Chains A and B, each alone.
Chain A
Amino acid sequence: MTWLVWRQFRTQAVVATAALAALGVFLVITGIQLADYYSSSGLSACYGACSGATTNFLNSVANGVTDTAHNLNNGVMYVLPAIVGVFWGAPLIARELEAGTHRLAWNQSVTRRRWLATKLLALGLATIGVAGLVSLMVTWWSSSIDHASMTMLTPAVFGARGVVPIGYAAFAFMLGVVAGVVVRRTVPAMAATLAIVVFAQIAMPLWLRKHLTTPVRETLPLDVNQITNLSSVNNGHMTVQAAASKPGAWLLSNQTITPSGSVFTGPANMTACNRNTSPESCINWLGTLHLRQALTYIPQSRFWPLQWIEASIFVALALALVGVCFWWVRRKVA
């Protein structure tokens, strides 16, 4: 049975190995450049107050080929699960059902259950291996940038680091297999897989991830010198927002509230804050109001717990799909 699985998977395995090797070469070449920036900016030898070196480093990264490489790597992490689902998962059984070869395979001296188990185990492990390896390489490559820019929890970056890509890939693979078994045709199964994987990749950071952990809620005195956003209109309505000093955190909300706890909306003091006065007069006036800043955020320290939670969710979904797959193949397919 393992022989047949290998014989059928051979071409895809070669393609995957070649792609991995190409990615590895690309990462090494751009990684050398990145390491060069890291030391020339002074960041590698910096301890303590490093904001200058950090800015230097990030500027170098943003202006060189490393910027393209950085974006490309993040892109690869998002494309990988879809590729695995579409090209490994969907055809795995759909192609057999389409060509009728399952009738050949299922009448050798190997039970249908074992046939399916061997296929799923072999390709599932390959999926986890490839996703893990690519994620490890990209996470390692980007570590200096992630460390300097403190963006690990940014939705787009979070899904491209650590163990989360493994969960996505395992889920996408099993989704492809099940779509193939249910639809029984390769191309429609591929399309369905792609659509659902992309949807999951959008839905997770946009709506679901913030509910996976209880965010920290904090109310601080508003530092009027940190105000980044100030608008007032003639009728006295006014909104104010100050920068949050939570480095590395994923900021979910940032509101300016009055001492009584309601969101500050004015009224503006029109003598201090009008078109003819300097911004300072308005800010000074705001300073007298004892405004407070209400923050909701996920601190950087939650990166790994959140990674494991999200990865587990997708692995659990993948395992549920394994169950569906066995059930469907036993009951519904002839």
Chain B
Amino acid sequence: MTAVLDAVGLGKRYGRRDALVDCTLSIPAGHVVGLVGPNGAGKTTLLQLAVGLLAPTSGTIKVLGGQPASDAHHLARVGFVAQDTPTYAGMSVADHLRLGAHMNPGWDAQLANDRIARLRLDPRQRAGKLSGGQRAQLALTLAIAKRPELLILDEPVASLDPLARREFLQILMEFVADQGASIVLSSHLVADLERVCDYLIVLTRGHVQVSGEVEELLATHYRLCGARREVREMPAGMQVIDASHTDRQSTFIVRSAVPIDDPSWTVEQLTMEDIVLAYMTQAAAVDGRDRVLEASR
């Protein structure tokens, strides 16, 4: 299967600020991909590059094998719900569906109407009068009813209350089940994505920290507790992501392709949240070191 998203050395720079640095990624088709990172990590930049709203300053990005937004045909294959789920405030719900029908050759009117009915949205209601959750649902409906092969959502649930959040993600899952499409969605909260994603990308300060299938990540990351020792004493083939020490004890979070059978360790499995936090902590620690170095200069 070809990759839905293929980035090689991708970079985006705004003036003198790097938003995304040397990002190399290959996301296989058929996944629900969670893009996690703290605010300002470059998630929006990466997604906007993927839908062709932005052009890269360096490197290349291919989506579904083609240049993002290169022509109408390619646009039809990718659905996008931007951050804050923009809709036309002065236009009614029905107008938005008409817009979708007029601007997308593959528009599925039945699907769109069913969804609006199920959400109990009044078609005559202006989008500006909808609640945040309803607006997000309307934007999602527009993106889904064009029947894309890849659906990209930028912080789709950020502005929703927990109930609306669950509803939204449920509809998203139904869409995947029905159409077998791939999805990429971003969030700064792992908890939002934990239940729906089977592929994870952690992005911090413009750098991809880790990416891979959730199952594989869960199977290769461990928390090790044992007598105190230094990072350099760790065996080769084991990548230390996070280390913390007390006087007698050390705790490591490591990535290891082979199972750990050293009896001197207490080995614990990690949750997705643990893994993401470990990578974010690592990135923050590296930044901290940089700052110390800069200060001592």
Measured CB to CB, the residues of A under 8 A from B are: 1-4, 7-8, 99-101, 103-112, 114, 331, 334
Contact = CB atoms under 8 A, between A and B. Distances in A.
A50 to B, nearest CB: 57
A100 B83 CA distance: 9
Contacts of A334: 48, 53-54
A110 B99 contact: no
A104 B142 contact: yes
Contact of B103 (A103, A110, A112): A110
9 contacts: A7-B99, A99-B86, A100-B83, A107-B69, A107-B78, A107-B82, A108-B104, A109-B73, A109-B146
Interface string B80-123: 10111011110100010011101111100000000000000000
B75 A103 contact: no
Q: 9 closest pairs, A vs B, by CB? A: A108-B103, A109-B76, A103-B82, A100-B86, A107-B80, A3-B102, A334-B53, A109-B104, A334-B54
Interface size class of chain B, counting residues whose CB lies under 8 Å from the partner chain:
35 or more
Given A4-B103, A109-B105, 7 more contacts: A4-B102, A7-B98, A107-B51, A107-B80, A108-B99, A108-B146, A110-B103
B86 A1 contact: no
B133 interface: no
Nearest to B53: A334
Given A103-B53, A334-B48, A108 B75 contact: yes
B82 A3 contact: no
Contacts of B104: 108-109
A331 B83 CA distance: 21
A103 B80 CA distance: 8
Contacts of A100: 82-84, 86
B148 to A, nearest CB: 9
A109 B75 contact: yes
B71 interface: yes
Contacts of B91: 7
Given A3-B98, A3-B99, A101 B80 contact: no
Contacts of A106: 52-53, 69
Contacts of B146: 108-109
A271 B55 CA distance: 85
B166 to A, nearest CB: 24
B79 interface: yes
Contacts of A1: 102-103
Nearest to B70: A111
A303 B104 CA distance: 50
B99 A4 contact: yes
Contacts of B48: 334
Q: Do most interface residues of chain A lie in helix, strand or loop, or is the interface mixed?
A: helix
A101 B54 contact: no
B72 interface: yes
B184 interface: no
A108 B72 CA distance: 8
Nearest to A101: B86
Contacts of B23: none
A42 B69 CA distance: 69
A214 B3 CA distance: 67
A303 to B, nearest CB: 45
Interface in B233-278: none
Residue of B52, B88, B95, B139 with most chain A CB atoms under a 10 A cut-off = B88
A124 B297 CA distance: 59
Given A7-B95, A111-B71, A104 B87 contact: yes
A110 B100 CA distance: 11
A104 B79 contact: no
A248 B83 CA distance: 63
Contacts of B76: 109
A46 B178 CA distance: 84
A129 B54 CA distance: 36
Nearest to A333: B53
Contacts of B139: 104
Nearest to B139: A104
A108 B99 CA distance: 9
Contacts of A104: 82, 86-88, 139, 142
A198 to B, nearest CB: 29
A101 B78 contact: no
Contact of B106 (A99, A109, A331): A109
A109 to B, nearest CB: 4
A7 B103 CA distance: 13
